[in-house]
Structures are given as structure tokens and as C-alpha cells.
Homo-oligomer: A and B are copies of this chain.
Amino acid sequence: MSDLKLIILGNGAAVPTSYQNPTSQLLVYKGKQFMIDCGEGTQMQMIKFKIRHRKLNHIFISHMHGDHYYGLIGLLSTFHLYGREEPLTISAPAALEGIIKLQLEAAKMTLKYKLIFQYLEEMGETPLCEDDSYTINAFTLKHSVPSWGFVFREKPRLRRIRKLFIEEKKLIPEQIINIKQGNDFVDSNGISYLNSEITESPRESSSYAYCSDTAYSESVIEHIRGVDLLYHESTFDNAMEKIAIEKKHSTAAHAAMIAEKSNAKKLLLGHFSARFSNLNILLDEAKVIFPNTVLSKEGLTYII
């Protein structure tokens, strides 16, 4: 099973409704939490869905429209009031730092933890963070204000050694890593084992891409190629394509075309306009183009 999962906290567009919160989602990987966007009420959604934030050390803000970040200052204040001490990194447009600092100043609040701002810049794909097992990069979208998408890619995984062999040969950690990396093994009696005899192929690496807010833009394809799951905004339906183009948003069909052309495995629609009380029209329009499409739902977890 994959180590990567996505929790949708909010998937509405600019105006909230009784059934839709502004955008926020949590990517969870091996005990780490990465938040993407943080619309108003995100901290309440976390309470509602019983999600703790102890492992949240990095927040990504896609752009400076309020439905993607108005909840951030509240979340930061709550972290402070709960005594957080771990540093928190925020990858965001540069303008966000001034806004957050002004609000902290006005409240005479000196955070108990360090806030590290990493500015998003308008260039090609930019690495934001990584460790031994994953990378998260940003790439530019096409919206009415500068906007960024994010792509999470798990690094190639190591080969899997057969459990019985580990026990039989009483392998020590160094030997295990060596074999996992694809090397053959010679035991204490000098008997040699081919790596292919004692290991299995690694599980495929997982990947996820987030594109919101954006107009239909084929320039994102090179950055998200082949991802296991693509979350792409679909604010409007086909009948409103003209408005989508004018407002630099996408229709569900646009999202599906991007999923199709980038060879994504699965498409998750989101950022729904408040005017759709029934989202099936969006789902149907996307499925015509890209059958493996689902509607995102707040509170649901998607295993990637």
C-alpha cells in the first residue's frame, strides 16, 4: 500500500456555502503532513475531521486570492496558543509574509516558534523541499494573479528483500541497505547470491500534483506528467466555458484534458463554484474526456 494520502479539507471556490469550504488540503506521507492552501475555516475543518496538526511543518500557498489563504493567520495563532515550538516553513508568494507579520504585530503576538518564509518565484519548476524519499516542486499556473501548482514525487524506492532471507542470514542493517540498493550478497560461507534471487522489484513510487487556481494551460503538462493523482480545479461546467476563460479558471472538461494529455492515472476535481448544488454535471463532462475522474469531497481521504 502507498505511504501517500490526501485529505480534502475544503474544495469550494471563492464564496463558501453550507456544504463547501474554501480550499485547503493535507498531503500525508510517512507521518509528515504538508498543507496545500489554507482558506478561511481550515482550522475548524481540521477539528471537524479530527485531524491533529503535530506533524505539520510545511504549508504551501498557491496564490494570493483569499479563498486560498485567509485561514492561515488563524491557524498560525492557534499553533502559538497551543505552545508549538517546531519551526514552520511557508512556501508562498512574497506578499504573504508582510500580511502575516502586520497581523502578528497588531496583536502584539511574538510567535513561540520560527516561521520560515520561502518565496515562490515565476520561473520553471522550482524545488521547494525534499528528503531521501520525496521531492516537492512548484511550477507556475495561469491565473489572474501569479499562481503556483505543486507536485509531490516519491523518489525511486529500494528493492524489497525476501523476509525469510533476512532471518536466515541474520542480516545487519548495512547489509540490508546494500542488498536493497541492488547489490548481490556473499554470505559468511562465501556463497554468492544474485540480487535478483533474493529481492523483489520495488513498489512503484507515488506522485501527486495540485493545479488550482488556473486557466486551461498546457504548460503545466511537463511538470505533472504521469502523476498517480492530479487535483485540478474545475470551477465551471461547459456551458460557462466563456466565463471560465474570462476569469482564468478551468471547466471540468479543461481539467480532464490536462489529465489526459499529462497521462495522469486519476483526476480529482475540485474548487467548485458555489452555483453548483449538484456536481454531477462536472463529473460527467470530465469523464467523457478522462474516465478515471472523481469529485473531491471534504473530509475524505484519498490513498494515492
> Could you list which residues of chain A lie within 8 angstroms of chain B, going by C-beta atoms?
14-18, 21-22, 40-41, 43-44, 47-48, 64-67, 70-71, 73-74, 77-78, 81-82, 93, 95-96, 98-99, 102-103, 105-108, 144-145
* 8 A-B pairs with C-beta separation under 8 A: A18-B47, A40-B70, A44-B44, A66-B103, A66-B107, A70-B74, A95-B106, A99-B103
Task: Check if A16 sits within 8 Å of B40, measured CB to CB.
Answer: no
A99 touches B96 (CB 8 A): no
A275 to chain B, nearest CB (A): 12
Cross-interface CB contact of A16 among B18, B47, B102, B103, cutoff 8 Å: B47
The answer to whether A14 touches B77, judged by C-beta atoms less than 8 angstroms apart, is: yes
Contact A144 B66 (CB under 8 A): no
Q: Which of B78, B99, B102 contacts A15 (CB 8 A)?
A: B78
- A95-B104 Cα distance, complex, nearest whole Å: 11
- Contact B64–A15 (Cβ < 8 Å): no
A47 to B67, CA, bound (A): 16
Does the CB pair B14–A81 fall under 8 Å? yes
Give Cα A70–Cα B41 distance, bound, in whole angstroms: 10
- The chain B residue with its CB closest to the CB of A76 is B66
Q: A43's contact among B40, B93, B106, B144, by CB below 8 Å, is which?
A: B40
CA distance A68 to B102 in the complex (A): 16
